[in-house]
Structure 1
Amino acid sequence: MERTVIESRISGAATFRIGKRFTFDAAHHLPSLPTDHKCSRVHGHTYTVEFVLEASELAGPGFVTDFGDLAVAGRYLAESFDHRDLNEVLDVEPTSEALAQHLARWFRAEVEPGVHGRLVAVRVSETPRSWAEYLLGESR
């Protein structure tokens, strides 16, 4: 069977997009909230983090990025955040928004230079029904 590189040709603006999800468990609290707010107290979540990458052309054998090349992000989450207090590991108040931004910056510095796709978003969920997303601009 012949393999070809798949190109996006619809109006020159179409892209391919993939996402890879990871989970970890951690505690945090938001000390800037009023003391009667439930999130001002220490509590925990099973976080879900999704890294979203895109490319206008696919690399062989037809990938935006090989999902296996994203395993390093799972290792980073496990080593840096799993079963930890996020207030002790982040330099900012550990909201989902701040965590998404931190992870996007880390990914762009540590992972993106070695993969074909471009990171376009990081989504962090504290619960199955709530999430925060950090969207990256066009420039690399």
Structure 2
Amino acid sequence: MYTISKEFRFEAAHRLTSLPPEHQCSRPHGHSYRVRVELGSEELTGPGFVADFGELAFFGSYLAAAFDHRDLNTVLSFEPTSERLAKYLAGWFIDAAPPHLDGLLRSVTVMETATSSATYHVVPS
């Protein structure tokens, strides 16, 4: 299996309203989010690619338009934990990806700090 990954960034605020008021994450705060998509394939295409990194620009454009400098609580219909955001972004990628990328997504990782991340692994169909 060959794998590639590409990382994207956006700045956003959120709060986790289901936590007790004394928990630091229940208060509004922001992160410099990094999102990494990993694609994999047993076969290479073109000059020897899993996918051309440039073909992933649609995902970066979506992140910038939908999330950059926004309050995630107002943009998303669920409590914006990194785990839920990773799953949501995996679903969005699968639905929006060009047909030649179908089935290549392996995981989406959301990093909200330099030391904290959550990964959603896509089950191959």
| Bin of the TM-score, shorter chain as denominator length | over 0.9
Moved over 6 A (4+): none
- Give yes or no for the alignment of 1:101 onto 2:69: no
Structure having the larger proportion of residues in helix: 2
Higher radius of gyration, 1 or 2: 1
The 10-residue stretch of structure 1 (23-32 or 116-125) with the greater mean CA deviation from structure 2:
116-125
> Could you tell me whether the CA contact under 8 Å between 2:94 and 2:102 is conserved in 1?
no
Partner of 1:89: 75
CA RMSD of aligned residues (A): 1.1
Say whether the 8 Å CA contact 1:121–1:135 is kept in structure 2: yes
Contact 1:64–1:117 (8 Å) recurs in 2: no
Which residue pairs with 1:41 in the alignment? 27
Residue ranges of structure 1 left out of the alignment (5+ in a row): 1-14
**SS across alignment from 1:98:** helix
In structure 2, C-alpha distance between the alignment counterparts of 1:131 and 1:96, rounded to whole Å: 7
* Number of positions where the alignment pairs a residue of Structure 1 with one of Structure 2: 125
CA contact (8 A) 1:64 1:116 kept: no
The correspondence for 1:61, drawn from 42, 47, 53, is 47
Question: What code does the residue aligned with 1:120 have?
Answer: R
Q: Provide, for residues 7-30 of structure 1, a one-character-per-residue CA deviation record: whole Å limited to 9, x for no partner.
A: xxxxxxxx0000000000000000
Distance 1:120 1:25 in 2: 24
SS in 1 for 2:10: strand
Deviation at 1:113, TM superposition (A): 2.4
Residue 124 of structure 2 is matched in structure 1 by 138
Q: State how far apart, in whole Å, the 2-side matches of 1:80 and 1:134 are.
A: 20
Structure 2 alignment gaps of length 5 or more: none
2:16 is the counterpart of 1:30: yes
Taking structure 1 as the reference length, the TM-score comes to 0.87
Identity %: 54
Per the TM alignment, residue 114 of structure 1 is displaced from its structure 2 partner at its CA by 3.6
2 CA distance for matches of 1:103 and 1:131? 14
